[in-house]
Structure 1
């Protein structure tokens, strides 16, 4: 089944060229089925790139998915046009009276700040509190995962000595859990962050399950026992070029970033990187949509 996105969203043309089945709102309303309503709080600076990455993964499902985008009203993004936000995004006041089957909260380039120092933290906590009663399941990515662990479970982040960037090997700890159904026992996934969370605190928390971890990169996928919250500390949504673009961006700024770990062949930044995590990314999103959203959400919200 297709993914339903706003008409004229730039990501639509990109996805159509990849033979991903999409439809706009006008065609979707002619189908007599109940679509899943997914809200995406996009905190990433390159919003259009993140839109494409997430919509690509949400498309790989037999379910019809209706997507809406949310941005913070308390912070004005500097990397996307105001017209793009006005045309394709809503603010919290416009959605707070609605209920959603699923929600995604992305990462954000604010890791070095304490949570309470983030300009939109109060707005974000209001949204996270609202999800308890208005969203069936929430997937949190990278800094969004750390924010969820801190707000919902009291687990704080801590700084790393240097940025953790690259593609790391992970071990699957609970293959019986539905989110990771079909995953390999050992798999690769990208990380890009300056902070981490304690594996010991996650393991000792009575409401959390650590699904996979990496000796080099730390905890990767975590979920609450009730399936309400899924936390992914890496960036499975990244396409093959994203880590490299971040590396060259930082070099152009005069910084001295490490070459992303195990990313370029022969550790040579002139060589084209390969995507070695795509299948697990698609499987994670389809499992989440099926087992945590579709199978759990009411047909008609009361």
Structure 2
């Protein structure tokens, strides 16, 4: 949230120089406030688990948020009761005419498939294009981040033989970017993916900035200059046991997964995970909601401008 300060307070120029948002009392007294409208396109198979993870992060703000869960198609998910989908999820067609302040598109366990081989790829591209016209700022997570880069910019991921799995150290590249407000210069975040896009490919796209990255796993947070798109290649929403559950799932299915890096105490899967990413994950979502959504969205969503088409 912005700091409300007296008009012409000398500290204002200092704070603005550090890219800290302030609001003078004249503007604050005339500001109109309404609940934010946020959509969540949940592509994960265990819908309920992902809902809890995302809602926990979205709730860490004084802003009032109305949330719509959106489904990609009519197929029954394997790990979520159909009754849950019927009760709590919207068909895309039912919200296609609505405009949103923010949209979150989750990851999906589709790492080894070509995009065009994904059964709902046509639906996915329809929603990606729809978001350019109907959403003020979209946050793409993991697989969705790579899928959006491919669709909008023609940037193709590489598939690694060994999965990036674990908790990795990252560096803040742009400390004045509002998404990273309050971040330490180095911080931890979980990754779980085979796909990889070299940082140089992000840097080669006009209008995109790699604001945080890792020496081991590459670009982590990539933001468009107009704040309309944010690409996060990891999983800041993951809970303490999520990487452990994925590891045991793969192990029990007959695979030979590597032990997630920097995750288990003493690198021993029989011991408890070391949780060292929650604060920055929470801060990332709070900053996105505040600076990329709340501070930039029009009060009247019908006035939301269509985003210009990305340049390939």
TM-score by length of 1: 0.88
Number of aligned positions between the proteins:
272
Give the structure 1 partner of residue 287 of structure 2. 287
1:1-302 matches, cutoff 5 A: 34-73=34-73, 75-302=75-302
Q: Is the 8 A contact 1:169 1:187 kept in 2?
A: yes
Give the superposition deviation at 1:274: 2.4
CA deviations on 1:4-51 (whole Å, 9 max, x unpaired) are xxxxxxxxxxxxxxxxxxxxxxxxxxxx96110100000001110000
Residue 184 of structure 1, CA deviation: 0.8
Structure of greater Rg:
2
| Gap change, CA 1:99 and 1:187, over 3 Å in 2 | same
Structure 2: gaps of 5 or more residues:
2-31, 303-312
Q: Deviations over 1:103-146 (max 9, x none)?
A: 00000001111111111010010001001110000000000110
For 1:300 and 1:199, the matched residues in 2 are separated by: 37
- Distance in 2 (CA, whole Å) between partners of 1:122 and 1:163 is 27
Query: Contact between 2:170 and 2:213, CA under 8 Å: does it hold in 1?
Result: yes
Which SS does the other structure have where 2:51 is aligned?
helix
CA drift of 1:159 comes to 0.5
Give the whole-Å Cα distance in 1 for the aligned partners of 2:178 and 2:109. Answer: 30
Unaligned 5+ residue runs, structure 1?
2-31
Runs of 4+ in 1 over 3 A off after TM superposition: none
Q: Is the 8 A contact 1:75 1:119 kept in 2?
A: no
Distance across 2 between alignment mates of 1:159 and 1:266: 29
Contact 1:44 1:109 in 2 (8 A): yes
How far did 1:68 drift?
0.8
| Distance in structure 2 (CA, Å) of the matches to 1:188 and 1:33 | 34
RMSD between superposed Cα atoms in Å: 1.3
